[in-house]
Amino acid sequence: MADVSQRTIAEHRAAVLARVSPVDAAAVALDDPAVLGLALAGDVVAAAAVPGFDHAAMDGYAVRLSDLPADGSPVTLPVLADVRAGGPGSTDPGDRPGVVRIMTGAPLPTGFDAVVPVERTSTGRFVAGGPTTERTVTLARQHRDHVRRAGSDVQPGAPLAKAGERVGAGVVAAAAAAGLTAVPVHRRPRVAVLSTGSELVALGTGGAGTVPDSNSLMLAALVRAAGADVVRVGAVPDDGAALRSALDRVTAPLPGTDVAPGPGVDLVVTSGGVSAGASDVVREVLASGAARDVDVATVAMRPGRPQALAAWRGVPWVAVPGNPVSAFVSTVLYVLPAVRRLAGVVDDTALTVPAAAGWTSPAGVEQVVPVRLGPDGAAPAGPGGHHLSALPHADALAVVPADVEQVRPGDLLTVLRVPEPR
């Protein structure tokens, strides 16, 4: 079991990320709601042009510019035909001078090269649902042609979205418009979450000396907000056999196979038991030899100094401290980047913002402060880093460098956003 003397936050995050890789991928149909929020497993390129044909950008009259005086003088012409959106693209009114009544999105008739908006003609406006009544119309050449040309937005083969981007409404719309029916995406990772401590009890139960198990709820909420499905085990007592049994259950192979992780668990996250106390059950299990690739680390940060990594039945295991604020901070710093990598998401959540208030920071360690982002920058969300009451008001974490002992208003800070619920 490796015991690292001191690490920076960046070094421990790198150690965590080295243990995970994107989960498997498959093509998912664009009309399947399950595709939303998943990360693209490859670049998406257009299969067809957008628009697919020349069409009217305005309600009005399609014209041949050769029929209109070049000096912009008005001319009265017969209305030869009527074209609506969804109609055929081969309307051919012949070679007679005249115009074609046309609605937005309708294909431009063969031989016509511009559209004059109806409000700039003698007609003035069309009546929705009304019949075609005008036989002639007076109009003039315009400065714009009011035609959307085929391929003017997207050409076949043009890039629409990059691998690692999450599928949202914009990706769905662009891909569907460009002739695609499905996109390659990574499935949603599945993460097992449990907390350790004999003092932890289910909500609404327990008595003197017991504590509600808020940690597993908090970790599950953060992991779910980062885009994973969660298997929440809840609280496990400070007993090595009980913890090993819980880890075995969530990493057990599928029935009838020898393949782990069987039920699709890609990561295990535990809170508590990583310090040097006599009841620290995670340290006990890590030292027993049952886990593999064990890495017990001391990170020069506050809060959240003790950390540990391992593998259980081949599944990566990230163990964070049990203090609620330490667990929250550690999950945002280390677990969520791992979840995003498993999901295939490009991890770029760090921002640089000014401090909106000043505070002191301990020397020699990186201070992680729950903050609230506002128009003036980041300000502490509560009175101190150890107060659980600050967390409901925090939408980011500010990381203060180890050589900074006084944060002053206006100082630039690196902050990590706390993911919003999905």
Q: For position 385, what pLDDT does the model report? A: 53
What whole-number distance in Å separates Cα of residue 417 and Cα of residue 326?
16
Higher-confidence position of 148 and 383: 148
pLDDT digits (tens, 9 = 90+) for 330-367: 999 999 999 999 999 987 778 999 999 999 999 999 99
pLDDT surpasses 60 at 326: yes
Task: Return the higher-pLDDT residue of 231 and 260.
Answer: 231
The residue with greater pLDDT, 223 or 88, is 223
Task: Specify the CATH number for 55-148; select among 1.10.287.1770, 1.10.3210.10, 2.170.190.11, 1.10.357.10.
Answer: 2.170.190.11
Residue 228 pLDDT greater than 70, yes or no: yes
Q: Which residue has the higher pLDDT, 204 or 20?
A: 20
pLDDT for residue 168 is more than 60: yes
Domain boundaries, the chain: 2-24+187-343, 27-51+152-186, 55-148, 350-417
pLDDT for residue 361: 94
Alpha carbon separation from 20 to 266, 304, 328, 346, 362 (Å, rounded): 9, 21, 20, 14, 32
Buried b (16+ CB within 10 A) or exposed e, 163-202: bbbbbeeebbebbebbebeebbbbbbbbbbbbbbbebbbe
Measured from the Cβ of residue 295, the count of other Cβ atoms closer than 10 Å reads 21
**What is the overall mean pLDDT for the chain?**
91
Q: Which CATH number fits domain 2-24+187-343: 3.30.390.10, 3.90.1150.10, 3.40.50.2300, 3.40.980.10?
A: 3.40.980.10
Task: Look up the CATH number of domain 350-417.
Answer: 2.40.340.10
Q: What is the pLDDT of residues 41-73, one digit of tens each?
A: 999 999 999 999 999 999 999 999 999 999 999
pLDDT score for 264: 61
- pLDDT score for 207: 79
Q: Which of 5-9, 108-112, 260-264 has the highest mean pLDDT?
A: 108-112
The pLDDT tens digits of the residues spanning 300-311 come to 999 999 999 999
Q: What is the pTM of this model?
A: 0.87
Cβ-contact 336, 226 below 8 angstroms: yes
Most confident of 147-151, 379-383, 417-421: 147-151
Please state which CATH number belongs to domain 27-51+152-186: 3.90.105.10
pLDDT category at 3 given cuts 50, 70, 90 is very low
Q: Is the pLDDT of residue 273 over 60?
A: yes
pLDDT given at position 25: 95
Nearest to 387 by CA among 320, 306, 296, 303: 303
Quick one: what percent of the chain has pLDDT higher than 90? Answer: 81
Give percent of the chain above pLDDT 70.
94
pLDDT band at 132 (very low <50, low <70, confident <90, very high): confident
Q: Which residues contact 412 (CB under 8 A, 6 or more apart)?
A: 352, 353, 354, 355
| pLDDT reading at 148 higher than 60 | yes
Tokens of 216: 């597993």
Q: Tell me if 2-24+187-343 shares its fold with 350-417.
A: no
**Residue 2 pLDDT class (50, 70, 90 cuts):** very low
- For 28, 36, 228, 244, 318, the CA distances from 267, given in Å and listed in that order, are 23, 22, 10, 15, 8
pLDDT at 47: 98
Q: Is residue 260 pLDDT above 60, yes or no?
A: no
